[in-house]
Chain A
Amino acid sequence: MNTISLNQENAPTLMQVDDAKPEPVGPALVKAEQQTRIPTAPKKPGILAVKSREFLQWMIPPMFGIGLLLLIWSMIAHYSPNLPGPVPTWHSAVELFSHPFYDNGPNDKGIGWNIVASLERVGLGFGLAALVGIPMGFILGRFEFMSRMAAPIIGLLRPVSPLAWLPIGLLVFKMANPAAIWVIFISAIWPMIINTAVGVSKVPQDYMNVAKVLNLSEWKIVTKILFPFVLPYMMTGVRLSIGVAWLVIVAAEMLTGGVGIGFWVWDEWNNLNVEHIIIAIFVVGIVGFMLEFLLLSIAKRFSYE
C-alpha cells in the first residue's frame, strides 16, 4: 500500500516535467514509464553533487577524530603552560615551512633538509634490507633445512631492540651515518625475511605438482610460480619493514646526531623550542603515513586477484 501511495504522490510532479511529451499512450504504459523514471529523475541533475556528498559523508568521521585530537591537545595546553597549543604551533609551522630548504651550516638546516636526510638513511637501510632479506626469505621458505638452520638465529636476534645494534655499528663502521643505516637495516630485515618465507611455504601443493609434472627448472619455478604467489606476502613484509624503519630512524638519529628529523627533534629540545618538537611529531607521522600509502598502492597494483 505504501509504495502505491508514494507513486501516486510523485505522479503529478512527473507529469508536469513530462508535459512537453503528450503522446497518447495507454494508461498502463504511462504508469510503467513513470515508475521506472522516479528513481532516476532526481539523480540526473548532478552526479557530481552526489559524489561530493558521498565524499563529505566519508570525510566526516576522520574530521571528527582530528577535531577531538585538537580539542584534547588545546585542553592539555590550557592547563599546562609549558606546552604550546594548536594555534601557536600552527603559526610556528607556517613560519618553518615557508623556508624549508635554508642552510646555515651543519647544525642549522631547514626542516626539508632534515626530512630528506632521514628519508635517505631509511631508503638506504631499508633498500639493503630488502636486497638481502627477500632472497633470504625465498631460500628459507624453499628449503626446510635452511629454514630450520635459520630459526634459532632469527628467534634470537629479532626481539633485540633496534638501538641495541647502534654501538656495534659505531664500532664496526667508526662513523655515525653508516651506523644509523646499519640500525635501519637490521631492524627492517626481519619482517621481509619472515613474510617472504611464510609466503613461499604457503604455495599450494597443486602449483608445485604442476611444476613437477612440467619438470620446470628452478628458475622457472621461482619466476613463474613462487614469485607471483609470494608477492602479496612480500609486500606485507615490505610495508611492515618500512614502518619499522621509519619508527627507528628518529631514535637512531637522536643518538647519532648530524642532519635528520630525529636529530632535529633533539636539537629543538636543547633549544627548548617545544612548538618545533610537536611539528616534528606531526611531520614524522605524516611522512610515515605517506610511505605506508605509497607501498599499499604499489601492493595493490601487483595483486593478481
Chain B
Amino acid sequence: MENMTQETIQDSTATVKPVAERQIPERPLAERYVHLENVNMTFVTKKGTFEALRNVDFSIQEGEFISIIGHSGCGKSTVLNLIAGLLNPTDGNIFCAGREVAGPGPERAVVFQNHSLLPWLSCFENVYLAVERVFGATEKKEALTARTKAVLELVGLTHAIDKRPNEISGGMKQRVGIARALAMEPKVLLLDEPFGALDALTRAHLQDELMGIMAKSGCTAVMVTHDVDEAVLLSDRIVMMTNGPAATVGEILSVDLARPRKRLELAEDRDYNHLRSEVLKFLYERHAKKAA
C-alpha cells in the first residue's frame, strides 16, 4: 500500500517537472536519498514503555524539501531526531546517501526549534565552531573565517556578526541557527519547527528567505512543522502523520506548485488552496485529535 501511493505520487511530480529535471531521479540513490525502512521507536520511561512510532516507511529524493506535519505528540520530532541520529530506532533502518545512519553527524545538520546557540559565543563564533569542525582539517583559518562570514551574509546578519545571542532578536537567533546548519554544507538539512517560536510576520519573512536559500543551495531538507501554510508553501511533498501512540505515516501529499513561489500570489491560487484544504482535511477530519 505504502509503496503504491509513493509511486503514484512520484509519477505525478514527474509530469509537472520539466524534462531536464526528470533525469535526476532515475538513479535509485537519488530517489531514496534519505530512506526510512519500517522504523519503530519505543521509549522506555519510568511509567513503562511508550510506542511512539510504528512502521514509519518513506523515502526522500535528493534535493527535495519534505515537511512532516501532524498533531502535537504524534512523534514528528522523533522522526527528525531519528534521521539526525540523535535517537536510535528500536527496530528498522534509516539510510542517508546510501549509508546507514549510525549516530549524529555534520552531514545531517539540524536547525533546532529553540535555536540552541551557545550564549557565551558571538554569532560569528557560534557558526565558526561548526565550520571549524567540518572544514578545519582541510582548510586554513582565513578560508574558515571567509566561509563563516559568507554564510552569515547569506542569512543577512553581517551587521550582527559580533553580537551575542542574548543581544539579538528571536528571528535573528534563528537565522544564526540556520546559518550554522548551512555552513556545514550538509547533505540533508533537518529543521525542527524552526519558526515555531517566532511571531507571524518574522516567520513569514524567514520562510521566504529560507525558500531563497534552499533554491540556491539545492540541499535536501526535512522540516517538522505544525503550520499548514508553512508546509504547503515550502515543501515538495508533505508527510502527514497519524496520531500517536504508535503513530505512522498517514498520507504523503505532493505539492506540485511551480517555484519560485510567491506568498501573495499563492493566497489566490486555486491549487494552493486545494492542497491546503487537503492537509486540513487530513488533520481535522480523518485524524482529528480528541480533545485532551
A304 to B134, CA, bound (A): 27
A204-246 near B? 1/0 per residue, CB < 8 Å: 0011011011111000100011001100000000000000000
> Given A213-B104, A214-B106, A215-B105, do A206 and B116 touch, yes or no (CB 8 Å)?
yes
Q: Which of B85, B103, B118 contacts A228 (CB 8 A)?
A: B118
Interface size class on chain A is 10 to 19
> Given A213-B86, A213-B104, A305-B166, do A224 and B121 touch, yes or no (CB 8 Å)?
yes
Q: What are the residues of chain B within 8 A of A224 when measuring CB–CB?
A: 118, 121, 129
> In this complex, what residue of B is CB-closest to A228?
B120
A209 to B84, CA, bound (A): 10
Interface residues in B44-93 by Cβ distance below 8 A to A read 84-86
Interface residues in A66-93 by Cβ distance below 8 A to B read none
Pairwise interchain contact B112-A210, C-beta atoms closer than 8 A:
yes
> Given A209-B110, A224-B129, A305-B166, do A215 and B104 touch, yes or no (CB 8 Å)?
yes
A207 to B129, CA, bound (A): 13
Q: What are the residues of chain B within 8 A of A225 when measuring CB–CB?
A: 118
A304 to B166, CA, bound (A): 10
Pairwise interchain contact A215-B118, C-beta atoms closer than 8 A:
no
> Given A207-B118, A209-B116, A228-B120, do A214 and B133 touch, yes or no (CB 8 Å)?
yes
Q: What are the residues of chain A within 8 A of B108 when measuring CB–CB?
A: 213
Main secondary structure of the interface of A (DSSP, over half): helix
Interface residues in A175-222 by Cβ distance below 8 A to B read 206-207, 209-210, 212-216, 220
In the complex, whether B130 has a CB less than 8 A from a CB of chain A is yes
In the complex, whether B114 has a CB less than 8 A from a CB of chain A is yes
A213 to B191, CA, bound (A): 13
A66 to B112, CA, bound (A): 54
> Given A215-B105, A215-B133, do A209 and B86 touch, yes or no (CB 8 Å)?
yes
In the complex, whether B233 has a CB less than 8 A from a CB of chain A is no
B238-277 near A? 1/0 per residue, CB < 8 Å: 0000000000000000000000000000000000000000
How far is the CB of B172 from the nearest CB of chain A, in Å?
A: 18
Pairwise interchain contact B106-A213, C-beta atoms closer than 8 A:
yes
In the complex, whether B182 has a CB less than 8 A from a CB of chain A is no
A207 to B164, CA, bound (A): 16
In the complex, whether B98 has a CB less than 8 A from a CB of chain A is no
Pairwise interchain contact B116-A210, C-beta atoms closer than 8 A:
yes
A225 to B104, CA, bound (A): 18
Which of A210, A212, A228, A229 has the most B CB atoms < 10 Å from its CB? A210
Q: What are the residues of chain A within 8 A of B118 when measuring CB–CB?
A: 207, 210, 224-225, 228
Q: Which of A213, A216, A229, A304 contacts B110 (CB 8 A)?
A: A213
Q: What are the residues of chain B within 8 A of A304 when measuring CB–CB?
A: 119-120, 164
Q: What are the residues of chain A within 8 A of B114 when measuring CB–CB?
A: 206
Pairwise interchain contact B120-A213, C-beta atoms closer than 8 A:
no
B126-158 near A? 1/0 per residue, CB < 8 Å: 000110011000000000000000000000000
> Given A206-B112, A209-B110, A209-B112, do A214 and B130 touch, yes or no (CB 8 Å)?
yes
How far is the CB of A165 from the nearest CB of chain B, in Å?
A: 37
Q: Which of B112, B116, B133, B184 contacts A216 (CB 8 A)?
A: B133
A277-305 near B? 1/0 per residue, CB < 8 Å: 00000000000000000000000000011
How far is the CB of A218 from the nearest CB of chain B, in Å?
A: 13
Q: Which of B86, B119, B121, B129 contacts A214 (CB 8 A)?
A: B129
> In this complex, what residue of B is CB-closest to A210?
B116
Which of A207, A210, A213, A215 has the most B CB atoms < 10 Å from its CB? A213
A88-131 near B? 1/0 per residue, CB < 8 Å: 00000000000000000000000000000000000000000000
For this complex, 15 residue pairs linking A to B, each with C-beta atoms less than 8 Å apart, are A207-B116, A209-B110, A210-B112, A210-B116, A212-B104, A213-B86, A214-B106, A214-B133, A214-B134, A214-B184, A215-B106, A220-B129, A224-B118, A225-B118, A304-B120
Point out residues on B near A: beta carbons under 8 Å: 84-86, 103-106, 108-110, 112, 114, 116, 118-121, 129-130, 133-134, 164, 166, 184
A-B residue pairs, 9 tightest by C-beta: A304-B120, A228-B120, A206-B116, A212-B104, A213-B104, A214-B133, A213-B110, A210-B116, A214-B130
